């Protein structure tokens, strides 16, 4: 995307998405639309299996909404079909790994909460300071923080705007791994390759089922799964559904076709 704050690079089956608007990697309307377009590309291209999202530099992953642009008159909210930073989308069937290189504030933290796997450098901190700016983190942070962190910790972060260090975030289970900054992308690619070794339709079915059932009771979740879900139904009707058991019985690596 020439001239965009969002850079993309295809690395095998991985789409690497990089925020590139230093120093804060803040998002105006166009940057939000460009990020959403990159996520749509990942979701719809059958050759792409996993997304890695990171930023240039070492200081800030993203400060979220570009308040300087808002103060200068860019007060519109044409953020794209899936809202600010693509965070109001419920169709992703490809996993996202967030490789956080610096401070993740506001929308930057909200985007990390949106991802399935979070890797972070040792100096990373997270914060949701929206109340001090006169609004609330309504691009998903408000409820995703409560889902991915203990409720009292989420309330503390949301109400006080304090920064949460990476050690606390890992201890609470939000950050999967703390990785030296210069090894961050290598570790993210290693994780992506581990995901790619799985059957693509099964990965899609897992993300779909997780999203649909995450706030259901066990009984309702079972009923919903057994009643049928589009990605799960495609998985069960596919050649890959039989390839896994065949490969296991024949003591060989599976040969996934994605159909």
Model confidence over 90-116: pLDDT tens digits?
999 999 999 999 999 999 999 999 999
Residues forming the active site: 110, 130
Instruction: Judge contact between 229 and 240, C-beta under 8 A.
Output: no
As a whole-number percent, the residues of the chain with pLDDT over 90 amount to: 89
Strand 96-100 with 50-55, pairing: parallel
In Å, what is the CA distance from 201 to each residue of 15, 40, 53, 83, 256? 18, 17, 22, 27, 9
Alpha-carbon span 82 to 92, nearest angstrom: 11
CA 74 to chain centre: 26
Considering the four listed CATH numbers 3.40.50.20, 3.40.50.620, 3.30.360.10, 3.90.226.10, the one that applies to the domain covering 6-196 is: 3.90.226.10
Helix (H, G, I), strand (E, B) or coil at 55: strand
**Cα R_g (the chain), whole angstroms:** 19
How far apart (Å, rounded) are the C-alpha atoms in residues 217 and 158? 27
Question: 180-228: per-residue pLDDT in tens?
Answer: 999 999 999 999 999 999 999 999 999 999 999 988 899 999 999 999 9
For residues 144-157, give the mean pLDDT.
Answer: 96
Domain ranges of the chain: 6-196, 200-249
pTM of the model: 0.93
């Amino acid at each position: 995307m020439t001239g965009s704050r969002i850079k993309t690079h295809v690395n095998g089956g991985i789409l690497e998405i990089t925020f590139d608007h230093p120093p804060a990697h803040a998002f105006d309307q166009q940057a939000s639309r460009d990020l959403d377009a990159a996520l749509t590309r990942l979701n719809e291209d059958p050759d792409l299996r996993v997304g890695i999202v990171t930023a240039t530099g070492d200081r800030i992953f993203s400060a979220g909404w570009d308040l300087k642009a808002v103060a200068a008159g860019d007060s519109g909210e044409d953020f794209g079909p899936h809202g600010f930073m693509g965070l109001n989308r419920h169709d992703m069937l490809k996993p996202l790994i967030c490789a956080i290189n610096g401070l993740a504030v506001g929308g930057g933290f909200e985007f990390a909460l949106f991802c399935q796997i979070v890797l972070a450098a040792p100096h990373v901190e997270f914060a949701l300071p929206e109340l001090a700016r006169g609004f609330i983190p309504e691009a998903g942070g408000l409820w995703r923080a409560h889902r991915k962190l203990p409720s009292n910790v989420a309330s503390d972060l949301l109400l006080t705007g304090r920064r949460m260090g990476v050690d606390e975030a890992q201890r609470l289970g939000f950050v999967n791994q703390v990785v030296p900054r210069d090894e961050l992308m290598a570790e993210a690619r290693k994780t992506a390759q581990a995901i790619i070794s799985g059957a693509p339709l099964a990965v899609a079915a897992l993300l779909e089922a997780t999203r649909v059932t995450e706030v259901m009771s066990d009984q309702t979740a079972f009923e919903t799964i057994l009643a049928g879900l589009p990605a799960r139904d495609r998985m069960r009707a596919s050649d890959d559904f039989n390839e896994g058991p065949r490969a296991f019985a024949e003591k060989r690596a599976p040969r996934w076709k994605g159909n």
